[in-house]
Amino acid sequence: MTLDPRSGSGRGAPSAPPALRVAGLRRTYGPIVALDGVELEVHVGEMLTLLGPSGCGKTTLLRLVAGLEPPDEGTVEIAGRRVAGPGASVPPERRNVGMVFQDHALFPHLTVADNVAYGIRRDPDRSVRVAELLELVSLHDAGSRMPHELSGGMQQRVAIARALAPRPDVILLDEPFSNLDAALRTQLRGDLREILRAAGATAVLVTHDQDEALTLGDRMGVMVRGRIEQIDVPEVIYSEPATPFVATFVGTANLVHANCEGGIGYTRFGPVRLINRPTPTGRASVVIRPEHLELTEEPDGPAAGDTWRIVRRRFAGSEILLEIEAGDGLRVWCEAGPQVRRLRIGDTVSVRLRDVATVAFAPGRGGASRKLDAAHGRPTGGLALSTEDDAEVVPAPSDVPGP
């Protein structure tokens, strides 16, 4: 990527207010804290994706921005105008946001064209606009059909066209692909990006699918337990995760114990350069991605400190990951490489650390994520950085490491 979306690419002049600014947003449902102080800025023309496990508050955030529910605390500003917070409570119909609902929520009693025209009934040129939008979403000949006659993918495109029609300041998409099957999802993902680009729309898309978040977002945020843990361009999220949760939720990560000093982490695999600032000193956990490890078959290989035994293999679309176990019981995931065909479970191998730069977390950082994991029913030891084990491994919920 040549441009840096962090500086606000797209149509917006540098001095223009952000399309959306959210500050200190909090929302509770009885004892459940759905949003716990969310901070967010979306620039004009930008597409921001929010990734998080279910129940992390993503949908609630969108509903509060749209005005469908009031916040307990915090403010929402759309195009520089305060719409929620102290002294402001603008109802949804006067916020100029578009929303694409998870179930599309098309009006079942209206034709496709009438659905798209719904929000612009006072526009004298609405028929031109509707035709233009139907063209944009490649449904120009479906205008007179009823929603229940359409496939899921077509319904979704109608929902997008309908939300775009009033030229909203920001368009909110709530898991737009979750009701579609896998093959359709990949195709529509590309279409959606084209459509939103062509419309010059500012968009926030929430999803629990990391592929979606990584491929669609100019920037992406990772949400957990009502907070945004990190927000940045996708490649930075992957290569420089801010917290252990982000490291393990986006892609597969081994968290390996190390002693850190002077920007170098000394792991059992060898030293790695640390790029996060401030760099921790002393004991810390270093993020080692599977592709950081190179498999060597000879147990007496150059960097071989340990002998590893293959215990599990996982096919992940374009590559194969192997889980290997050291003599002391530590397990890590690594990429199999070209010799994979010859390897069997139970074989002995050694690994070598490639020359990589990564991040390390001081021991205290794991606390929040450990509690989270307990809440999700995974073994609590998953990120227990303070135990005496040399490293702990947590495969990501979705099986594929990022690009």
Partner 1 sequence: MTTVVGRAMPGLGPRRFVRRLAPPWPLATIGLGVAVLSLLPISYLLLRAAGTDADALAFIARPRTLSIVVSSVLLGLLVGAGSVLVGLPIAWLTTRTNLPGRRAWAVLTVIPLAIPSYVTGFAFVAAFGPRGALQSLLEPLGVTRLPDIYGLPGAALVLILATYPYVVLAVRGSLMREDRSVEEAARTLGDGRMTAFRRVTLPLLAPAIGAGALLAVLYALSDFGAVSLLQFDSFSRAIYLQYRGTFDRSLAAVLALGLVVLTLAVTYGEARLRSRARHFAGTGPSRPVERVPLGRWHWPALGFMTVVVALALVVPAASIGFWLLRGLAQGEAFRDVGAAIAGSLGMGLVGAVLATAIALPVGLLLARHPSRLTTLVERSSYASFALPGIVVALALVFLTTSTVPFLYQTIILLAVAYAIRFLAHAFGPLRATLLRVGTRVEEAGRTLGDGPVRVFLGVTLPLLRPALLSGAALVFLAIVKELPMALILGPIGFETLATEIWGATSEGFYGRAAGPAALLLVMSAATVTLLLREERR
Beta carbon of residue 29, minimum distance to partner 1 (angstroms, whole number): 7
Which member of 23, 26, 118, 304 binds partner 1 (CB under 8 A)?
118
Residues 252-291: x where in contact with partner 1 by CB under 8 A, - otherwise, as a string: ----------------------------------------
Partners of 309 in beta bridges: 325, 348
H or E element at residue 333: strand 331-335
Token readout for 141 is: 């000949």
Helix (H, G, I), strand (E, B) or coil at 52: coil
Which member of 125, 318, 338, 388 binds partner 1 (CB under 8 A)?
318
Residue 211 binding partner 1, by CB under 8 A: yes
Residue 93 binding partner 1, by CB under 8 A: yes
Q: Are strands 203-207 and 170-174 parallel, antiparallel or unpaired?
A: parallel
252 closest CA partner among 293, 280, 217: 293
Count of residues touching partner 1 (by CB under 8 A): 43
From 62-70, 259-267, 304-312, 329-337, span contacting partner 1 (CB under 8 A): 62-70
**Tokens 């960097």 sit on residue:** 303
CA distance linking residue 119 with residue 196, whole number of Å? 18
What letter would DSSP give residue 36? Answer: E
Question: What is the 3-state composition of the chain as percent helix, strand, coil, each rounded to the nearest 5?
Answer: 30, 30, 40
Beta carbon of residue 375, minimum distance to partner 1 (angstroms, whole number): 20
Residues 148-177 contacting partner 1, CB under 8 A: 148, 159, 162-163, 165-166
Beta carbon of residue 249, minimum distance to partner 1 (angstroms, whole number): 14
Residue 53 binding partner 1, by CB under 8 A: no
CA distance linking residue 280 with residue 263, whole number of Å? 8
Token readout for 225 is: 């337990």
Which residues contribute to the site for partner 1 (CB under 8 A)? 29, 59, 66-69, 91-95, 97-99, 101-103, 105-109, 118-119, 146, 148, 159, 162-163, 165-166, 181-182, 186, 209, 211, 317-318, 398-400, 402-403
